[in-house]
Amino acid sequence: MNKGTKKSSLAKLLHKQKKKRGKKERKSAPPKHAQGKIRYEKMYESGICELPSGYYSKSIQFSDVNYQIAPKEEQQAIFQRYCTLLDSCDERTHLTITLRKKRIEQKDLEKQLFYEETGERQDIYRQELNEMLRQTMTEGGRNFSKQNIVTFTTQATDYAQAKRSLERIEQQLSNSLSEIESSSQLLSGKERLQLLHELIKPNELFQFNYIDLVYSRLSTKAVVTPSSFNFKAKDYFELGSNYAQVLYLKEYPTKLSDKLILELMDIGEELCLSIHIDPVDSEKANQLIQIKKAYMEGDKTAAERRATQKGYDPYSSIPYELTNSIKEAEALLDDLVKTGQKLYFVTFLVYFRAQSKEQLADIAEQVQHIGRKNRCTFSALDYLQDEGFNSVLPLGKNWIEQQRTLTTESTAIFIPFSAQDLDHSDGKYYGQNQTTKNSVRINRKLLNTPSGMILGSSGSGKGVAKKYEVITTLLKNPEDEVISIDPEDEDTVIGNDFDAQIINIAPNTDTFINLLDSSEDLKGEADPIKLKADFLLTACEALIGGPTGLNSAQRSIIDRVTRLTYFNFQPTLEKTAPTLAEDWFPLLKEQPEAEAQTLALDLELYIEGSLSIFSQTTNVSLNKRFVIYNTKQLGSQLKTFGMMVVLEQVWNRVVRNRDRGITTWIYIDEMQLLLNDPYCENYFFELWSRIRKWGAIATGITQNVETLLLSDKARRMLSNTEFIIMLKQAKSDLDELSTLFSLSYQQQKQLINPIKGAGLIRAGNAIVPFSNTVDATTKLYELITTDPIERHKLRQEVSP
């Protein structure tokens, strides 16, 4: 049988199987009368939904912004931009804002966050991390996700016309959302169906592809419809085996707080809020209010006449509600004329489900309690639950008439923004969001600039934060490698437990690192010899350049000797790279210029003398996935030079790992030490800028933010860094960070006197308050604590 025949047979078999599955799907589909209860005509794969009477809609999902904890000025700016978004829609556009609060099941969180045991001895830490996560979820974690959707609807004669109109509105809304710094994404037809499925059948698995409809000959409604609907009750309905209810906002005061949505979304239940917004044409709006006002004034005149006929005071006999309504109408006219606001018809709905009538009533009472607290009244839609349910669904049509006439600012008070969460796909746990009580999950690899910094005053927990990330990275990402530059000898304990290569760099050790080691992986993308010559020039300048630096003759000689060294070198099994002592230095001495002899004398201490730890063949293994460079005993004379050599070694490792597809995590403790010397600062800045493009993730740790920001290069590094952990800060450091990141007063409070391990965490444009404390009774805590008293106590406990 030839290949063509095999393919044909396989295609026939697949076609037969799909037809069989389609027949099965038709048999198990919900009844037609149940499907008919969901009021849309078609859901196209493009994301366009066709509604009755020639209306079409699309939906955009948009991200939250930190509105509630922003400073007043920023809140006002966000509010005004949201007003502009509303006013950008004309009377032909209907908007539906859907705010959906969904519970994240603990088993799903465990699957995403827990550490899978591998049989290694480090499983003890995986077990402890899992137990701490489990306790956090059980005791304090809310673990809900919030989904923000705007559905926009327009009337059209056909699909093609609707497509053009909706694309224009989509672009307009996306631009307005970006002005609020909210990212947006258009939902496809499948994504809209999944959203409907989760609102209607949350406990069932969503399995659907548009190609399935070809074989099942069903409509998309069959995917989202439950086995049955029952709308016979007065103020609730049944869908499948669940009970559900829709409440509407019946009454609310003239001045409504913007806290209503925040407090509703803080209820510990799954909810869906739906706000329908219909812009009114300006001329029609004026006429509408004038007519309404005229009717009310007519009622007022009639009331006065009746009171006079009966001998009562005509002014005291007018109902308060009528007087107040006339004043509201006058104020409304004033707003339209003087401030240029628009008019909107607004409907506010709340939808929730439960497994029993008692639970349903309890959720309803919680919603109504929040309403009373804000001087509002939520009521059930008596005998209109069918219409209310379809109005809640993010399809883009309002089927009920309980509307309120509001101005732009009164409509915008139902602002959909509250507080940001950090919830990356495949993200690692970094603590609990102190505002939303949800888990903070971050995947640094997804950030545009994944490099980061950990900033905190002494004793704030920055050392613990660093070690927590190092350990969780080693446990969670078995292919990744970790390099730590450790100037305070704080990582040796972790290194011993995780089989790290610990390299003690000091003049009095027998550890050698060859400065002339170079990565072969650079070939084809850069000239490695040129890069090495540039590095040697910078290193020699730092060692012997003095205040004026090397002169041009000295620089030319160093460049020449370096090139000759690599040109003459023949690698062997024992020696794969030239060294300063055996190859480079003899060549320097052979150069005829007097400057060469002066250079040889100046460099003798560092190549043949007592500080020659970087001039011989590397004699330590650098092939383990966890490498620690312990630089605590690096003397003052070698501090700058030694740190530059270490950074060069790190660069070689990054280059090698990039081609192997391995992510290299680099931690630089006491980062400010690298900025004290201009040569080291320049080299470090260049390295920080380069490694991002080579698949590495660098993290700097420091307690001296103010000192750090004295360096223009450090300031640029910090402002371009997308991942930052900010712990307790000294007053001067806090002022600098507040200016740099525009921290609100509420955010600043998180850094004044937090518990150890708490503060702010930034990923991308989001900054959230978080807390991540490690249980002090665990082995993990013994491993990562940096408190000297605790470390001494722990050493005494393990001593015989």
The tens digit of pLDDT for each residue in 37-76 reads 999 999 999 999 999 999 999 999 999 998 887 778 888 9
In the predicted structure, residue 589 carries a pLDDT above the cut 90: yes
* For residues 747-763, average pLDDT: 91
Please give the pLDDT value at position 682: 85
Strand order in 758-763's β-sheet?
439-442, 428-433, 766-771, 758-763, 723-726, 452-455, 696-702, 664-668, 481-486, 626-630, 501-504
At residue 337 the predicted structure's pLDDT band, cuts being 50, 70 and 90, is: low
Per-residue pLDDT tens digits for 414-437:
999 988 888 888 889 999 998 888
Residue 59 falls within a domain, yes or no? yes
* For residues 778-796, average pLDDT: 72
CB 453 within 8 A of CB 699: yes
Q: How far is Cα 326 from Cα 318, in angstroms, rounded to an integer?
A: 12
CB 236 within 8 A of CB 384: no
Q: How far is Cα 659 from Cα 661, in angstroms, rounded to an integer?
A: 5
Please give the angle made by the CA atoms of 557, 544 and 614, to the nearest 5 degrees.
85
In the predicted structure, residue 681 carries a pLDDT above the cut 70: yes
- 């607290």: which residue's tokens? 373
In the predicted structure, residue 772 carries a pLDDT above the cut 70: yes
Select the more confidently predicted residue: 109 or 519: 109
Per-residue pLDDT tens digits for 9-32:
666 666 666 666 767 777 778 899
Residue 688 falls within a domain, yes or no? no
Select the more confidently predicted residue: 326 or 112: 112
Q: How far is Cα 420 from Cα 439, in angstroms, rounded to an integer?
A: 12
Q: How far is Cα 240 from Cα 197, in angstroms, rounded to an integer?
A: 13
In the predicted structure, residue 795 carries a pLDDT above the cut 60: no
At residue 798 the predicted structure's pLDDT band, cuts being 50, 70 and 90, is: very low
Instruction: Please tell me the total count of domains within the chain.
Output: 1
Please give the pLDDT value at position 290: 60
Q: Is residue 303 within a helix (H) or strand (E), and if so which, with residue range?
A: helix 282-309
In the predicted structure, residue 187 carries a pLDDT above the cut 90: yes
Q: How far is Cα 643 from Cα 682, in angstroms, rounded to an integer?
A: 12
Q: What is the sign of the dihedral through the CA atoms of 615, 616, 617 and 619?
A: negative
Please give the pLDDT value at position 719: 82
Q: Is residue 230 within a helix (H) or strand (E), and if so which, with residue range?
A: strand 229-230
Q: Which residues contact 667 (CB under 8 A, 6 or more apart)?
A: 466, 470, 482, 483, 484, 485, 698, 699, 701
Per-residue pLDDT tens digits for 608-658:
888 888 888 888 877 889 999 998 888 777 787 888 888 888 888 898 888
DSSP 188: P
In the predicted structure, residue 220 carries a pLDDT above the cut 90: yes
Q: How far is Cα 480 from Cα 631, in angstroms, rounded to an integer?
A: 23
Please give the pLDDT value at position 695: 86
Please give the pLDDT value at position 415: 94
In the predicted structure, residue 93 carries a pLDDT above the cut 50: yes
Residue 361 falls within a domain, yes or no? yes
At residue 79 the predicted structure's pLDDT band, cuts being 50, 70 and 90, is: very high
At residue 800 the predicted structure's pLDDT band, cuts being 50, 70 and 90, is: very low
Q: Is residue 628 within a helix (H) or strand (E), and if so which, with residue range?
A: strand 626-630
Alpha helices in 150-267 (DSSP H): 159-179, 189-200, 212-216, 221-224, 260-265
Residue 573 falls within a domain, yes or no? no
Residue 603 falls within a domain, yes or no? no
Please give the pLDDT value at position 254: 75
Per-residue pLDDT tens digits for 435-459:
888 889 999 999 988 999 999 988 8
- Please give the residue range of the domain that contains residue 379: 24-104+144-412
Which tokens belong to 733? 């450091």
Please give the pLDDT value at position 341: 79
Average pLDDT over the chain reads 86
* For residues 547-562, average pLDDT: 89
Per-residue pLDDT tens digits for 250-304:
988 878 888 999 999 989 899 999 999 999 887 665 666 666 656 566 656 666 6
In the predicted structure, residue 120 carries a pLDDT above the cut 50: yes
* For residues 769-783, average pLDDT: 91
Please give the pLDDT value at position 325: 64
* For residues 482-487, average pLDDT: 94
Q: Of all residues in the chain, what percent carry a pLDDT higher than 70?
A: 86
> In Å, how far from its chain's centre is CA 725?
14
Please give the angle made by the CA atoms of 498, 501 and 502, to the nearest 5 degrees.
100
Residue 687 falls within a domain, yes or no? no
Backbone angles phi, psi at 569, to 5 degrees: -70, 135
In the predicted structure, residue 489 carries a pLDDT above the cut 70: yes
Please give the pLDDT value at position 574: 80
Q: Residue 351, CB half-sphere, CA atoms under 13 Å: how many?
A: 26
Please give the pLDDT value at position 335: 62
Please give the pLDDT value at position 769: 93
In the predicted structure, residue 521 carries a pLDDT above the cut 60: no
626-630 and 343-354 as β-strands: parallel, antiparallel, unpaired? Answer: unpaired
Q: How far is Cα 219 from Cα 706, in angstroms, rounded to an integer?
A: 63
Please give the pLDDT value at position 291: 60
In the predicted structure, residue 504 carries a pLDDT above the cut 70: yes
DSSP letter for each residue of 313-353: -TTTTS-HHHHHHHHHHHHHHHHHHHS---EEEEEEEEEEE
Q: Answer whether 0.75 is exceeded by the pTM.
A: yes
Q: How far is Cα 415 from Cα 265, in angstroms, rounded to an integer?
A: 12
* For residues 542-549, average pLDDT: 80
Residue 91 falls within a domain, yes or no? yes
Exposure b/e, 541-565, CB count within 10 A at least 16 = b: bbbbbeeeebeeebbebbbbbbebb
CB 276 within 8 A of CB 347: yes
Strand partners for 237: 244
In the predicted structure, residue 373 carries a pLDDT above the cut 70: yes
Residue 609 falls within a domain, yes or no? no
Instruction: Name the nearest CA neighbour of 26 among 286, 219, 279.
Output: 219
